[in-house]
Structure 1
């Protein structure tokens, strides 16, 4: 009897069932996506530069950003990874970040070239994911996680009503975020090309 058969014939042993789509990790992901319009309303309310509403917008953005870390940890620790989550999680992340960057640029608080670099990079990476998806999935790198953290902190600095006193801090953190965005984007291109080359050789 093989080890596989022995495992199957063990009394009381059950195979793990499929992971339900409706789980806490996916609920948090959808909640983050649902917070995007709430964030935009708070950001643009009262003309976009009301101190109270900027604090509200910052709080909503921070709450949504925190769920990004929590849902991923829960999915991995509790085995709640689903195909829905794999698709919805990056969409929610990009929707939140993109909405914040575009909103700040529309209000004149952030230069458009910064927004286009970050949004363009994210769109390009998404396209690369679909380009190599049949060959495999490129895991998130440590650099990518640092990039996401820097973007969130930089956006938070621009959302906070710090006035001219925070200008140096805002530009410093956003500069680091833009640099990380570009470098990790180039790294993703290299890894995508390698994965596609390996996949082609494997199928040849």
Structure 2
């Protein structure tokens, strides 16, 4: 094609001029001019294709280059509109992976840390002025209530917004056991709650936690509705004992604590049953897998 030099035409603008018959030796309206125009259209199409593959982006009509204007050489800088797919796609995947990795300092973990910080503060408030001052006990109850409320929210936030981290998996149960254990031990030390109640509740909590770790190789024991009801009842009962209640409220808290102890024992036995079933099932599955492999 001698009518439209590639170096001079460069992009789609040169091709359009050639198509209009502006090239040398082409007379508009003649057969030669029409042939020149058709040839120029072919050059424009090839130029657009080359620009798209070399530049990595085309902004309609075969234009390429950093600013998407005509006249850029094929294979130039990526176009401003519709860049290449391979580079940005890889960058997008890396960005998505970075977003999916929840930061340790997310709202769920901050609530867990707050509960851990509240434990020594709660103990100090409980034991202030000999541990029987109604005002200090009210402040201690407020700290305990905040800890229990944040316990309800941090797990929900972590699961809903994909904020689950290794730190949260370890720190959350520690914070739960720490605030409840501190409250029970303080109440028993002050003579407000029998030691056997504290022993039953804390023994169950520590025992079930250990049991979960022992059977983790076979599967996970899910939290049951009874376990959630137990946690709620324990929180209400302990909170009522933290407050310096008298009269019928003191009688009511006794029965609430009795219900919490019953739920503690019953749900604990249910977790033991689940652990035994889970272990037996896991052993049977492994045995079947080994027999199938040997066969």
TM-score above 0.5, yes or no: yes
Q: Give 2:278's aligned residue.
A: 195
> Structure 1 residue 54: deviation in Å?
0.5
Query: In structure 1, what is the Cα distance between the partners aligned to 2:268 and 2:121?
Result: 29
Paired positions, count: 197
Q: Deviations over 1:23-71 (max 9, x none)?
A: 1111111110111000000000000000100000000000010000010
The match for 2:139 among 47, 56, 59 is 56
| Matches of 2:275 and 2:166, distance apart in 1 | 20
Q: Tell me the CA shift for residue 192 of structure 1.
A: 1.0
Pick aligned residue for 1:156 from 216, 219, 239: 239
1:128 matched residue in structure 2: 211
- 1:177 pairs with one of 236, 260, 267: 260
Deviation at 1:122, TM superposition (A): 0.6
Query: Which has the larger displacement, 134-143 or 160-169?
Result: 160-169
Aligned partner of 2:183 among 78, 84, 100: 100
Shift in Å at residue 13 of structure 1?
5.8
Greater Cα offset, 103-112 or 84-93: 84-93
1:56-75 equivalent positions in 2, closer than 5 A: 56-75=139-158
RMSD value over aligned CA atoms?
1.8
Deviates more, 1:46-55 or 1:18-27: 18-27
User: How do residues 9-158 of structure 1 correspond to structure 2 at under 5 angstroms?
Assistant: 11=89, 14=93, 15-16=96-97, 17-158=100-241
Q: Distance in 1 between matches of 2:211 and 2:226?
A: 17
Higher RCO, Cα 8 Å, sep 6+: 1
TM-score (norm 2): 0.64
SS in structure 2 at match of 1:71: helix
Paired with 2:114 and 2:280, the residues of 1 have a C-alpha distance of: 38
Task: Tell me the distance in 2 between the aligned counterparts of 1:172 and 1:188.
Answer: 24
| Normalised TM-score (structure 1) | 0.91
Whole-Å Cα distance in 2 between the matches of residues 23 and 136 of structure 1?
Answer: 28
Greater share of helix: 1
Helix, strand or coil at the partner of 2:101: coil
Distance 1:180 1:41 in 2: 29
Between stretches 99-108 and 85-94, larger displacement belongs to 85-94
Gaps of 5+ in 2: 1-87, 288-295
Q: Give, in whole Å, the separation in 2 of the partners of 1:85 and 1:134.
A: 21
Q: C-alpha separation between the residues in 2 aligned to 1:67 and 1:21?
A: 17
User: What is the CA distance between 1:20 and its match in structure 2?
Assistant: 2.2
- How far apart, CA to CA, are the structure 2 residues paired with 1:27 and 1:35? 12
Stretch deviating more after TM superposition (64-73 or 165-174): 165-174
Query: Does 116-125 or 82-91 show the bigger shift?
Result: 82-91
